[in-house]
Amino acid sequence: MGKVEVNKRNKRTSLLQTAFDLFVEQGFSKTTISDISKRAGLAKGTFYLYFKDKYDLRDQLVARKSAQLMQEALKALELRPEKPKTLEDYIFGITDYILNYLQANPMLLRFISKNLSWGLFRFASAQPDDVPQLTEFYEGFLQALKADHLECGHPNLLLFTIIELVGSTGYSCIVYESPCDLNTYLPWLHQSIHQILIGYTSNRQTE
């Protein structure tokens, strides 16, 4: 990578990190493009070389932070002495790690969880080179389906349902402890995901 490309990447990274800090400190609605550019030490016009507007930056930032978290979850799954044997094991391992991590990191939680939805994966499919970790997760999900000898006519809908369930209920349990705290809720979340998998999948005939 040449010096020009490195410089461009550094400026984009600086804008993303500065925006995250400001969004956490003063909220998304109160943060302006001028605020972001000024703190990053860049001209306001530079912002528009990388992002269409503040909402585009937020979407890319959510994807970036989520991808980093997903990468950590995948690594943690790989390092477990006992590897996941079923699709359920794979999903539980990922979701439990993410929820526990967000519970321990409230600033990241408040920014990312409200935006953790299927839209994130639509963004990833449109720009796979920016967030390869999300593509890796989806491919791992499909491989787990196959390894578990399960047929699923609509894997995208299955994943959409699980993501929306985990994101919304996990946020409520962590932030508000309503209707209960996360530790109390996790077994019930597992049971709900188990039933969702039953509804969306069927056993594949094997030789």
Q: What is the mean pLDDT of residues 1-13?
A: 87
Residue 46 is given by DSSP the state H
Neighbours of 48 (CB within 10 A): 13
How far is 91 from 87, CA to CA, in rounded Å? Answer: 6
Q: CATH code at 138?
A: 1.10.357
Q: Which residues contact 22 (CB under 8 A, 6 or more apart)?
A: 31, 35, 36, 39
Report the mean per-residue pLDDT for the chain.
Answer: 88
Per the structure, the complete domain to which residue 124 belongs is given by: 58-203
- Do 44 and 69 lie in one domain? The reply is no
SS3 150: strand
Q: What is the pLDDT of residues 129-170, one digit of tens each?
A: 666 777 788 888 999 999 999 999 999 899 889 988 998 899
- Do 196 and 164 lie in one domain? The reply is yes
Split into its structural domains, the chain has a count of 2
Q: Which residue in this structure is represented by tokens 């309503």?
A: 178
- Do 47 and 65 lie in one domain? The reply is no
